[in-house]
A and B are shown apart, each in its own frame.
Chain A
């Protein structure tokens, strides 16, 4: 059995767009965030949203509401303009902070901050950094373990 270019072309378009259509019908085709983060699976935290699922498109207003972190503390931690705080997106931190030194402040920083602020379990990643102002807020909150304090002290800019 051989196949020519015309039939092959039709099959490619049909299979790709057919898959998109069918997956849309079953709700599997998501091209944007649902703005509802995953919850922890462990029994101790099962009602808590997992900060690891914070997306770059989440605004500080949404994070404040979802994770119950006062927006003023987010503003102080990341030194953003209080007037724009509600609509400020996590991913905008990347352009706000210089990363020439290889230390990037971005969505990962917000995930880490929220987890440590709330005392929620979070895997510390050596490539994640926090602003000095965020460390100060976290120290005041007092939810960090000694290991987390050491990590933050060595991962600030």
Chain B
């Protein structure tokens, strides 16, 4: 049964909520250092609530039982929570929770207004396919150098850190440059940092391949309109798969029958196949 394309607000609400939580934590921390405290807001730093910090400190934690500088046990707790979510639903942290993903999406909305259908299609597919593996190199470099130095070395080039600590005076020039590059790139490409450079996205993308829930396409009811391909922020060719097994999928569900797909029960986030399907 055909239906009109619906505007789904749930994901946006969740994204804004987590963005606001992180912003509140950062503001609370800054005020705490100035001797002012916000009721109900914790005194945690941005690093303390970042699950990637748990990944970065894992080597030191296993080998010496201590954390690398600026990281606390909260990061490890969040790392496990996000890993659990990923094994259930894929890299849902990227698509629904990560405030830097939300920021890039927001800038992308401006890019989409400027360039229309051309937006997110500037990079030729053959280059895009290769560039998408760059983030695994970034992940390997970050993990190796963090293990060797026991320092949070990624902070100096981390655009996410630069965004939320812009006015603290603690951000390296290189991180500001990274933020500027990502912001400008987001006007042309959707989620450029997630696609090509995010080390945590690389790790979650890998574990997402083993998730229980996946995007599934019902070949019998699919009308091959390619609305799913058009809607995918990560440029995945959803219309050619029965099950989406792509390390770039962020489980945003934009392609599903809940949103872009015009046919009910044709593209769903589910376990198992469709009834009456060959």
Interface residues of A (CB under 8 A from B): 1-6, 8-9, 11-13, 15-16, 19-20, 23, 28-33, 38, 41, 50, 52-53, 55-56, 107-108, 125, 127
Q: Is the CB of A9 within 8 A of B80?
A: no
Kindly identify which residue among A2, A13, A30, A107 contacts B270, using a CB–CB cutoff of 8 Å: A2
**Chain B residues whose C-beta falls within 8 Å of the C-beta of A56 in the assembled complex:** 69-70
Name A12's closest neighbour in chain B (CB-CB): B96
Q: Is the CB of B72 within 8 A of A31?
A: yes
Name B8's closest neighbour in chain A (CB-CB): A5
Given A5-B258, A29-B74, A30-B74, A107 and B96 contact (CB-CB distance below 8 Å): no
A interface footprint on B177-214 (CB within 8 Å = 1, 0 otherwise): 00000000000000000000000000000000000010
The answer, yes or no, to whether B65 is at the interface (CB within 8 Å) is yes
A104 vs B69: C-alpha distance in the bound complex, in angstroms? 15
Q: Is the CB of B48 within 8 A of A52?
A: no
Q: Is the CB of A1 within 8 A of B69?
A: no
**Chain A residues whose C-beta falls within 8 Å of the C-beta of B82 in the assembled complex:** 16
**Chain B residues whose C-beta falls within 8 Å of the C-beta of A32 in the assembled complex:** 43-44, 48, 72
Q: Is the CB of A1 within 8 A of B74?
A: no
**Chain A residues whose C-beta falls within 8 Å of the C-beta of B151 in the assembled complex:** 108, 127
Interface size counted on chain B using CB atoms at 8 A: 43
Q: Is the CB of A33 within 8 A of B258?
A: no
The answer, yes or no, to whether B115 is at the interface (CB within 8 Å) is no
A16 vs B3: C-alpha distance in the bound complex, in angstroms? 34
Q: Is the CB of B43 within 8 A of A19?
A: no
A interface footprint on B1-32 (CB within 8 Å = 1, 0 otherwise): 00000001011011001000000000000000
Given contacts A9-B11, A23-B74, A33-B72, 16 further A-B contacts (CB under 8 A): A2-B271, A4-B258, A4-B269, A5-B8, A8-B10, A8-B269, A9-B10, A12-B85, A13-B17, A20-B74, A23-B77, A29-B74, A30-B72, A31-B45, A108-B150, A127-B149
Given A13-B14, A52-B64, A31 and B70 contact (CB-CB distance below 8 Å): no
Name B25's closest neighbour in chain A (CB-CB): A31
Q: Is the CB of B72 within 8 A of A125?
A: no
The answer, yes or no, to whether B49 is at the interface (CB within 8 Å) is yes
The answer, yes or no, to whether B81 is at the interface (CB within 8 Å) is yes
Name A3's closest neighbour in chain B (CB-CB): B269
The answer, yes or no, to whether B166 is at the interface (CB within 8 Å) is no
Q: Is the CB of A125 within 8 A of B149?
A: yes
5 sample A-B contacts, Cβ–Cβ < 8 Å, listed by A number: A2-B269, A3-B270, A16-B81, A16-B82, A32-B43
B222–chain A nearest beta-carbon distance, Å: 16
A interface footprint on B244-278 (CB within 8 Å = 1, 0 otherwise): 00000000010000110000000011111000000
A12 vs B42: C-alpha distance in the bound complex, in angstroms? 21
